[in-house]
A and B are shown apart, each in its own frame.
Chain A
Amino acid sequence: MARMSMIEAIRSAMEVSMAEDERVVVFGEDVGYFGGVFRCTQGLQQKYGVARCFDTPINESGIVGAAIGMAAYGLRPCVEIQFVDYMYPAYDQIVSEAARIRYRSAGQFTCPIVIRMPTGGGIFGGQTHSQSPEALFTHVAGLKTVVPSNPQDAKGLLIAAIEDPDPVIFLEPKRLYNGPFDGHHDRPVTPWSTHPLGEVPDGHFTVRLGEAVVRRPGKAVTVLAYGTMVHVAEAAAEEAGVDAEVIDLRTLLPLDLETVATSVKKTRRCVVIHEATLTSGFGAELVALVQEECFWHLEAPIMRVAGYDTPYPHAQEWAYFPGPRRVAEALVATMEA
């Protein structure tokens, strides 16, 4: 075990994968010599050479398209898009190509690629460094979508993603890179070294895709969250004094519906939260599934707390961010419903 930040854990995952499997290659903008603008790939080029970790031209469509071609050849590319806000030029390659190659070629060609992308807000990045577009991926048949909330999971999930036979969208909540963040932006930043989930196993280890985990056990209401919002949910439960069970979904697709339904059937209440905009967000899918599975167990309408349906603002970041106060209000409202 070692204490790691999320950046170090992600780097460690790539390092382990590259050491064990020479088909694993890593590339993206500023990823090679410099080691990425968030330093996730630092040292990989030095260790494994420019043929396995390299800088690319600034062309996201090119990055993903090249990864698909390499995967068709038999490599296992793990590429970085500098911010998920810059994936749109690659969306055609992701949706029309990566997601469907196995299906359309009847398995002659497959696409075992990982696309790593920093996601979410909380860094005053304005509308092009703050988005949470996970629903644009979960809506696409053929993609898996993963959002870790801590260093330990980040490493285990990333290794699992690299070893997965299908394309995996790996969204890294950038506000969590250097420490857990519960939405209280006015409090001092705490590093991962003081958090139990900053303990990361050495060497190879995986967290299976499609397995959620109960982060905080409780009896009164189930909170479904992922990424940064897991920490926000934990803080909100404390502050509202509500005995909430917080589930960290970890993988959005495939979804661990069993863990979700078991919890909701127990608590009989459910609040779904995400940073992403509300309308047609992944929360809508969760609400639909929970009511399909648990309708006769529910004692209150399922509630959502999400980003407002506007572009992500700059100055009004904390008015926009669905922080602990808004989540706590929803918890209380659900209990009173």
Chain B
Amino acid sequence: MKIPISLQINGEMYQVQVPVQKTLLAVLREDLALTGTKNGCDSGECGACTVLMDGRPVNSCLILAVDAVGKQITTIEGIGGIAELDPIQEALVAHGAIQCGYCTPGLVMTAKALLDSNPHPTETEVREGIAGNLCRCTGYVKVVEAIMDVSRH
């Protein structure tokens, strides 16, 4: 059974028909072609699917699309395109903090929320802040350096 809902994503309203059990992640990727948000586990364990809901990072694989109605959703597509990256994204590029890039969109969203609420975190706060975003490529070294760097500016 599909029901019609409206979702506010990156400042735009989208009308979609979704089964009640469909996750926000699946709707973003399958119905709206917003594929920057990745699926690494579909069960809340990796953070690859992180989006912001009213400014707070959430695992979109754990949220039903119907529960996102009335919230402001921000996905990676909503912060900076290739031509005008967010300072966090510029820092990740400059520090060589991206390898396969599969964890990167989720990480950008978490880092964004972290710095929005705490513009000058300590390294420990950064590490704790991104602990839900698993990365298998970087050992987090350059990721943490990049976030610390951008927080200093």
Interaction A to B: no
